[in-house]
Amino acid sequence: MPKGYWVSAYRTISDPEKLAAYNELAALAVNPAGGRTIVRGGRVVAHDAGIAERTVVVEFDSFEQAVAAYESAAYQTALAALSDGVERDFRIVEGID
C-alpha cells in the first residue's frame, strides 16, 4: 500500500507565535494518527521556479491515513490556531510504493 505524505512549503511566516501554537497542536493530531515528521526546515536548494522556503514533510503509512489526519478534529484545531499566521502551499500526496 502506498504511503501518504503531507508536504508544506511556507512562503511567508508573518506570525511566529501562531506558528508555534500550531506546531504544538499539530503534533497532537499527527503523532496519534501515525504521522512521522521526516523533514522540518533545514537547508533547501531551490531550482527552476522553486523558492528556498521552510519545507515540512510528514509521512503516513497510507494516503488514506494522511487524509484522515488532515480531516481530524484535532488537526482542524491546529489549523484554527495557525489562522493567517503563515502563507503556505500544503498538499497531501501519495507515494509510489
- Residue range 24-69, pLDDT digits in tens: 999 999 999 999 999 998 899 999 988 889 999 999 999 999 999 9
The fraction of the chain above a pLDDT of 90, given in percent, is 90
Mean pLDDT score across all residues of the chain: 96
3-state secondary structure 7-60: EEEEEEECCHHHHHHHHHHHHHHHCCCCCEEEEECCCCCCCCCCCCCEEEEEEE
**Helix 63-71 crosses helix 73-82 at what angle (to 10 degrees)?**
60
As given in the structure block, the three cell numbers for residue 51 are: 523558492
The pTM of the full predicted model, rounded to 2 decimals, is 0.92
As given in the structure block, the three cell numbers for residue 19 are: 506558528
Give the pLDDT of residue 50: 84
Give the pLDDT of residue 45: 93
Contact predicate 57/41, CB 8 Å: no
Average pLDDT over residues 57-86: 98
